[in-house]
Structure 1
Amino acid sequence: MDRDNFRPGPLAEVARVPADERWDLVFVRDLRHPPEKVWAALTEPDQLAQWAPFVASRDLGTPGDATLSTVDGDQTWPEPATVVRTERPSLLEYSWGDGLLRWELTPTGTGTRLTLRHRIDRPDLAPQMAAGWHLCLDVADHLLAGDPVGPIRGAEAKDFGWDELRDAYAERLDQPPA
């Protein structure tokens, strides 16, 4: 796909739930790729660099310390991370700075149901995080399909519909659960 023609896909399923005096953004997305392929995108540094909001100092497929450096243009901000749990290809959990990310991969008839639980400090951050993960996972989906568009992260995300996604997720998250 030509990067200039990239547009975000439909909104994902989202929820914001209390968790240990903090909040979890729960972001659910169906991908058209098998769990092993999605696992590789979530753990291998070369693949993460092409879609994630950070670059990883090592493969995240095994427990232990790592550094995840947030990227915005030419700037990076390294943060400590610890991979705390891995069950290939179904569960990956790691800390990143003061957050906790839990990736659950469930096979479906057409690919993988990906559930991300991202621990955040304040509930009002959920729409911003959802918009960011939405764009990142759209980019990952293109990468996995062999149609890479390159990472969209940091301030550049505003050029690809981040503001509209944030507003749409804010509206969706402010509605009471069904």
Structure 2
Amino acid sequence: MADSATPSSDSGNDVSAVPQGRIEKVTDGWAVAFDKQFDYPTAHIWDVLTNPRKVEQWLGSVTPGWELGKEYTLDMGNGTASGTVLQLTPRSSLQISWDDELGEESVLEWQVLESDGGALLTFRSRTDTADFLAEGSAGWEGIHDAFAAVAAGGAPDPEPPGQWRSLRDAYSRDFRISPTMGVLEETPEGRTIYFERWYDAPADDLGAALESSSGNLRMGEGAEITAVDEDGFGKLRITQRLEGGTSQDAAALMAAWHLALDSAAVRLEGGTPHPNSHRLRALEALYRSMV
């Protein structure tokens, strides 16, 4: 579930990071959780959470605003989302459905609680799939850091290069959740696409599943594909240097790899994948926003 702002392109995983949030397995799926203590009154934190002018500073432009039972649209600059306000209790709780451009659905809930003379802001994002969990957790951590800056009366700081990827990898490692998205690494020698996916299957089975899933996607030549058994997972790693081409070409190739890796997961679980052109176009648009 890609329930955060689309990550910006970064140049490498050279920023150490310790997750502030956590990923939890719940009865009906997964939850991303953050809890943040503020030395401000609950009324102030509620205003930052719900005032459209404040929301625009830390999340994006919401139209028409959070109104109970009403649909909304959110423009985050590098991505959009939409949904319905499911619960709105003044100075207490906000719950919304969240549908992103990939068709991934989740339910988000913030609660504002009196705590230690200030306010405790809790956040939960619930989804039924582990897809994009590590990426979403890294994205929401940056968003809640921006929230804290706005609550303090300032402006959010620009995200340091590499921070999103470093956080994504930290969430994957600490909570044993496979990364979902590929990254495009920029080096003096050129550009390289890199994917890593973790499967509950032995490494010996991964290559055949990927080959069956990628044959018709015109993936190009020169990709290095390795499969290893590591930390209780079969881990599939793909590295492909790009020789020329446009950013649109890179985005199309990354979308194709992404879809092939999704299809491989279905095959490894004994199912038959049914990739569709709509999802491929949506993935291409997502990667285009990165590259």
* TM-score for the superposition, normalised by structure 2: 0.48
Distance in 2, Cα, partners of 1:36 & 1:159:
34
Aligned residue in 2 for 1:25: 32
1:1-178 to 2 correspondences below 5 Å: 11-20=19-28, 22-52=29-59, 54-60=60-66, 62-72=68-78, 76-77=79-80, 79-97=81-99, 98-149=105-156, 157=159, 159=161, 161-174=163-176
Residue 138 (structure 1) shift: 1.0
Q: Per-residue CA shift, 1:127-165, capped at 9, x if unaligned?
A: 211111111111111111112136x6xxxx572611122
Give the strand-richer structure, 1 or 2: 1
Deviation at 1:103, TM superposition (A): 0.8
Q: Deviation of residue 14 (structure 1)? A: 1.4
Deviation at 1:17, TM superposition (A): 2.2
| 8 Å CA contact 2:17, 2:170 repeated in 1 | no
By how many angstroms is 1:51 displaced?
0.7
Go from structure 1 to structure 2 and tell me whether the alpha carbon gap of 1:40 and 1:121 turns closer, same or farther (over 3 Å shift).
same
On the 8 A contact 1:16/1:25 being kept in 2, the answer is: yes
Deviation digits for residues 25-83 of structure 1, max 9, x if unmatched?
Answer: 1222223332221211221221111111x3210221544221123421xxx53x43111
Larger Rg computed on CA atoms: 2
**When the two structures are superposed, what TM-score results if normalisation uses the length of structure 1?**
0.75
How far apart are residue 84 of structure 1 and its match?
1.0
Q: Would the alpha carbon gap of residues 127 and 87 (structure 1) be closer, same or farther in structure 2, given more than 3 Å must change?
A: same
Residue identity (%): 25
Superposition deviation, residue 124 in structure 1: 4.6
Cα offset, 1:118, TM superposition: 0.7
Deviation string for 1:64-112 (max 9, x for gaps)? 221123421xxx53x4311111111111101121221011122211532
Could you list the runs of 5+ residues in structure 1 that have no partner in the other structure?
Answer: 1-6
Amino acid at match of 2:143: C
Q: Which has the higher contact order (CA 8 A, sep 6+)?
A: 1
Deviates more, 1:126-135 or 1:115-124: 115-124
Task: Count how many residue pairs are aligned between Structure 1 and Structure 2.
Answer: 158
Cα 1:86–1:138 change in 2 (3 A) is: same
- 92 and 160 in structure 1: CA distance in 2 versus 1, 3 angstrom threshold: farther
Q: 1:29 to 1:172 in 2, by over 3 A?
A: farther
1:27, 1:124 → 2: CA distance? Answer: 19
